[in-house]
Amino acid sequence: MTLTRRGLLAGAAALGAGALLPTTATAAPAGFPDYRYQRLALVKSKLRYNPTGELIFPCVRGTKGRIPNALAAYYLYYAPHDAPGGICLAYANSLDEEFTEYAGNPIIKNSWPGEYSVSHVSSPHALWNDDVNRIYLYFHGENTVTRLASSADGIHFTYEKEVLSTRLQPAGTTETSYARVFRQDLPAKNARYVMVFMLNNTTNHRDIGWGWSPDALNWTFSQTPLVRHTDVGANDIGGPHLLYRNNSTYVVYNTDIAHGGKLMITEVGNDFSKRNHLGVFHTPLAGAPDNGRSAAPSFGTYQGREYMIYEAGERLAGNIAIARAV
């Protein structure tokens, strides 16, 4: 498996019995492919740790050449959202088999003695940091704080610090969560990493925020959104992910289900100076597993084909699905 420049490795599992036949969304802009649903990555009924019956925010990383004696070739990080949440791990040796739940889940709980005690932790995003040869795992808990833990083996983590909170955004900010971090050079800002995240305030309309860092540890944040919900005619947008194509950078994000539950795409450019809103990137299936909502996408390539692994289904009732480019 090969990582794209901005890509996430994608995971998959066997297609569940009785699932709908795959269908294809309308063509995505900017030369990106259509993605067709293939299978679920996890079967919720088989999970030992499944406190709320809902799974969100997938992130898959390859272990080859990075984690000696890994459990398998691919690690999938995911979480329930509702309390108590909990960052979870599953693993597989190929993308054509059901992922196996790690027996010790959750690997990060809603209480870390000496560091925090919150109602829930969720939304894991794993970045392999080549600068330190460790996995940096970003997660939220509460929704006002994004935190960072690091690990050499992808299982046992050391708490690092809070990296983002509402106090680092303008007055009236109520949520700073669902963050993903990418390796991206921004010379004008002396930065080598970019974070995108969901931003909410007292108007209760969610936007996409962003920040930059020299080391993926210490961050500076824009005081204005990267993409506003009004830019795309939605009440809320979230689950952002960066993509790179056509020598430019794009952000893909989901809309609320009342406004289509679709994935949208905006070109921001390699220096994040553009705001070229390109419209619909992916339309969810009306039936299972999407049930009108696709969210929190991540992307990668495997044997020359492009994949999207995403949160499928109604909020707080979803699962993790895998789609492949057609």
Domain residue limits at 84: 34-325
Cα angle 7-79-129, degrees, rounded to a multiple of 5: 40
Residue with tokens 């066997």: 14
Asked if residue 61 lies in contact with residue 128, where contact means CB atoms within 8 angstroms, the answer is yes
Nearest to 76 by CA among 148, 84, 93, 253: 93
pTM assigned to the model: 0.91
10 lies in some domain: no
Kindly state the tokens that stand for 278.
């390109």
CB atoms within 10 A of CB 18: 6
Residue-wise over 61-85: b if at least 16 C-beta within 10 A, else e?
A: bbbeebbeebbbbbbbbbbbbebbb
User: Distance (Å, rounded) from C-alpha 6 to C-alpha 220?
Assistant: 20
CATH of the domain at 285: 2.115.10.20
29 lies in some domain: no
Number of domains composing the chain: 1
Kindly state the tokens that stand for 25.
């969304």
Residue with tokens 């995505």: 28
Kindly state the tokens that stand for 90.
């599953």
245 lies in some domain: yes
pLDDT in tens, the chain (326 residues): 233 333 333 332 222 222 223 334 445 788 899 999 999 999 999 999 999 999 999 998 889 999 999 999 889 999 999 999 999 999 988 777 889 999 999 999 999 999 999 999 999 999 999 999 999 999 999 999 999 999 999 999 999 999 999 999 999 999 999 999 999 999 999 999 999 999 999 999 999 999 999 999 999 999 999 999 999 999 999 999 999 999 999 999 999 999 999 999 999 999 999 999 999 999 999 999 999 999 999 887 777 778 898 999 998 889 999 899 88
Asked if residue 62 lies in contact with residue 73, where contact means CB atoms within 8 angstroms, the answer is yes
212 lies in some domain: yes
Cα angle 153-155-158, degrees, rounded to a multiple of 5: 85
Residue with tokens 């990555």: 41
24 lies in some domain: no
Asked if residue 323 lies in contact with residue 37, where contact means CB atoms within 8 angstroms, the answer is yes
9 lies in some domain: no
52 lies in some domain: yes
21 lies in some domain: no
